[in-house]
A and B are shown apart, each in its own frame.
Chain A
Amino acid sequence: MENQLYIGLSRQMALRRQLDVVANNVANMNTAGFRGERTLFEAALEAGGRKPTDRIAFTIDRSTYTDLRAGAFTETGNPYDVALDGDGFLAVQSPDGVRYSRDGRLRRDADGTLVGTNGYPVLDDGRRPIVIPSDSSVISIGSDGLLSADGNVIARIAVFRFDNPQQLKQTGDLLFEPGEGMEARPAPDTRLVEGKVERSNVQGIVEIGRMMDLTRDYQAVTKMVDDGQDLLRSAINRLGKSS
């Protein structure tokens, strides 16, 4: 009888966590290069009844996964902005090692190094930082990643892809950390689009719809648990009459 309570609880916990994921997606609706997250649920069967076939299913949220679809591109006119057309990632040198990002809002720092929004250097195809000579005035980035200053080619911005991008770990700051044994391969099919930025791939309306679903589900589970408690209470009252 009490199983109902615990099944309800497992569902409620999962729904709350799912709402957290929706909230994070909505909070990052306008974060350039952001990738939304989704949740996967699974029923965990456990022996609970008298017969071996009477099994109960609890909800567990098996995993979150990253929605890797591209966001829309918007024109910014800023020559350092690049959007990635394809499944590639830019490589940046963070203090903890090489990280990968879809955030193409680039700039020059005080030394002339090409850096991302974190201030981490963007790497070229030899995994070295790219330094733009300080007296160069016209910067252009070709679709193949070739960066030229005043018409002279300086370096090629590296673009990498992964065979199993779902195993990338989001670490915040729009960076992805490759998991154990994951290999970054060159992504020749990914084009760089200069002067544009890739928006977040979160679709607000879809998230709001999901959020409404969640609240209704939550109410329904709560109602179910409530009803179960009513049943239990009346059973105790009726069956337990001693007179």
Chain B
Amino acid sequence: MRVLSIASTGMMAQQMNVEVISNNIANINTTAFKRSRAEFQDLMYQAERRQGSQSTDSGTIVPTGVEVGLGVRPTSVNRINTTGNLTSTGNELDLAIEGRGYFNVTQPGGETVYTRAGSFKLSPEGSIVTADGYTVAPGITVPQGTREVVINRSGEVLAYVDGRNQPVNQGQLAMTVFVNDSGLEALGDNLFRATPASGEPQDGLAGQAGFGTIRQKYLESSNVNVVQEITELISAQRAYEMNAKVIEAGDQMASTMTNMR
């Protein structure tokens, strides 16, 4: 029976919807996390009678045909790249990007990946690294005896060293923008990798045209909105239940049929 397969596509779709929502909720406190949205489309339609065909009995043209849709399919899990709220942390190596752009992170293999989670640390050698210890490009080192690190809006790292009044410029953080942020591949650990869908990485510096600026001592919160997620969750759950009911109805019809004498 067609109804059983149609309703099961609905159940599978809603199950995936719940999975995406649960990942959003799980990451509600993850720095710079972007919520995802499961997107669905209707499957093809089976035309049992084409519109515009001639009706046999009266010779008139049928204005609308008989078409039966075959269910639903997930098309994409789309990352919604709106900026999260900035929260003040007071920590001088916490950086938030206001506007577009990603920090570049060099992985141990030499590959460059991208992140907006700017909760950076100092390595034992004094270089700026991510929470996992990966170097933040271009690899800026803070000298021994630094009292204070100031990172300005364009990403220049200035170190105030003991015994000197003038800050020492240690370099400028690299930044990259993508035409289609949603096309980046999520690697986990707040990291992303460029893909053909995201467009070529466009390297630059904070504050240039089309690039965001850097806010020191702030972190970007996740853009997950609890109320929205819970609402979506309820809606997905109800849709799941209703699809299950449709399967039940289809089954009942089938059993009515088998019980006929």
Contact = CB atoms under 8 A, between A and B. Distances in A.
Real binding pair: yes
Interface of A: 12, 15-17, 19-32, 34, 37, 39-40, 44, 61-66, 75-79, 103, 105, 107-112, 117-118, 134-137, 164, 166-167, 169-174, 179-180, 204, 207-208, 211-212, 214-215, 218-219, 222, 225-226, 229
A65 B67 CA distance: 8
A137 B78 CA distance: 19
B239 A170 contact: no
A222 B243 contact: no
Nearest to A136: B210
Contact of A171 (B44, B65, B242): B44
A21 B44 contact: no
Contact of B39 (A32, A61, A137): A32
A204 to B, nearest CB: 5
Contacts of A66: 64
Contact of B76 (A27, A117, A137, A179): A117
21 contacts: A20-B2, A23-B3, A24-B68, A24-B72, A26-B239, A27-B13, A30-B235, A32-B39, A32-B40, A66-B64, A79-B82, A109-B179, A110-B197, A134-B210, A171-B45, A173-B75, A174-B42, A204-B239, A204-B242, A212-B249, A214-B249
A26 B246 contact: yes
Contact of A110 (B52, B82, B99, B183): B183
A64 B67 contact: yes
A104 B100 CA distance: 23
Interface residues of B, number: 76
Interface string B93-105: 0000001100000
A212 B64 CA distance: 26
Interface stretch (B112-120, B138-146, B157-165, B253-261): B253-261
A108 B180 contact: yes
Contacts of A164: 63
**Which 8 A-B pairs have CB atoms at the shortest separation, nearest pair first?**
A27-B10, A135-B210, A24-B69, A110-B199, A23-B6, A172-B44, A31-B40, A63-B64
B236 interface: yes
Nearest to A103: B41
Nearest to A16: B253
